């Protein structure tokens, strides 16, 4: 079992870039589909949902579908519960923390607001199956898994992401993992110092 240590609002800048380009690409769409692949126990997809809630009007935000996938069922149970200790939420800006969290029954733990939890759909999924959780995705975020894969597996997983993305869809990967050279024709890098890409409409 691979568990990447994470917390809310970790590695925030690329997520902010991703949301910016996602909303540009999805302008006028009735539904925005996001896939957080390898979500562990949930801080990253919930962070994404908070960023989207802040960037969209409430009506548009209700049309967000954020699939959070991992192959480890116990991790997804934590995500479903939406309750986290103070150490994992303490970096959230105070105004957003007050808006989107309430104290939980367990001392020192806090629950994600329903308006955020309702947009996040946990799904058990193994990336190495090379079968996407769904097609026509507006953005794929995969920032905790690729470094654990062998190079050949990594290439095939990113090809799968390309196929799952809608035209002009956005891909975010971990900053320590450059896009393999052979996949360069599939994506346009949007931010010079971050692994944020737009799908090119070419065969994978």
What are 133-154's pLDDT values in tens digits? 999 999 999 988 898 899 999 9
| Sign of the dihedral defined by the CA atoms of residues 105, 106, 109, 111, in that order | negative
Between CA 2 and CA 147 the distance in angstroms is 11
Confidence of residue 204 (pLDDT cuts 50, 70, 90): low
Tens-place pLDDT, residues 2-44: 444 578 999 899 999 999 999 998 877 778 999 999 998 999 9
What is the model's pLDDT at position 187?
96
Confidence of residue 201 (pLDDT cuts 50, 70, 90): confident
Place of tokens 């959230």: 92
Place of tokens 């020192």: 108
What does the chain come to in residues? 204
The single-letter DSSP state of residue 28 is: T
Helix (H) or strand (E) holding 180: none
Place of tokens 């999924």: 125
pTM for this predicted structure: 0.94
Collapsed DSSP state (helix, strand, coil) of residue 181: helix
In sequence order, what are the beta bridge partners of 110? 84, 103
What does each C-alpha distance from 183 to 55, 159, 161, 186 come to in angstroms?
31, 8, 11, 5
Structure tokens at 15: 């997520």
Confidence of residue 1 (pLDDT cuts 50, 70, 90): very low
What is the model's pLDDT at position 73?
85
Contact 104, 127 (CB under 8 A): no
Task: Work out the mean pLDDT of the chain and round it to a whole number.
Answer: 92
Residue 163, class by beta-carbon neighbours within 10 Å (0-12 exposed, 13-18 middle, 19+ buried)? middle
Between CA 146 and CA 26 the distance in angstroms is 26
Tens-place pLDDT, residues 55-91: 999 999 999 999 999 998 888 999 999 999 999 999 9
């Amino acid at each position: 079992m691979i568990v990447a240590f994470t917390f809310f609002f970790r590695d925030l800048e690329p997520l902010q870039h991703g949301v910016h380009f996602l909303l540009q690409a999805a302008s006028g769409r009735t539904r925005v589909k996001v896939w957080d692949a390898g979500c562990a126990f949930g801080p990253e997809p919930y962070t994404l949902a908070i960023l989207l809630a802040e960037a969209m009007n409430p009506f548009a935000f209700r049309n967000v579908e954020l699939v959070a996938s991992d192959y480890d069922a116990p991790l997804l149970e934590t995500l479903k519960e939406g309750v986290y200790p103070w150490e994992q939420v303490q970096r959230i800006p105070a105004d957003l923390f007050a808006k989107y969290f309430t104290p939980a029954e367990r001392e020192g733990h806090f629950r994600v607001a329903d308006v955020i939890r309702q947009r996040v759909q946990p799904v058990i999924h193994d990336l190495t199956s090379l079968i996407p959780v769904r097609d026509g995705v507006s953005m794929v975020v995969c920032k905790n898994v690729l470094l654990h894969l062998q190079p050949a597996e990594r290439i095939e997983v990113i090809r799968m992401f390309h196929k799952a993305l809608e035209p002009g869809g956005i891909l975010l990967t971990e900053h320590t993992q450059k896009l393999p050279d052979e996949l360069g024709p599939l994506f346009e890098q949007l931010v010079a110092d971050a692994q944020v890409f737009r799908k090119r409409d070419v065969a994978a």
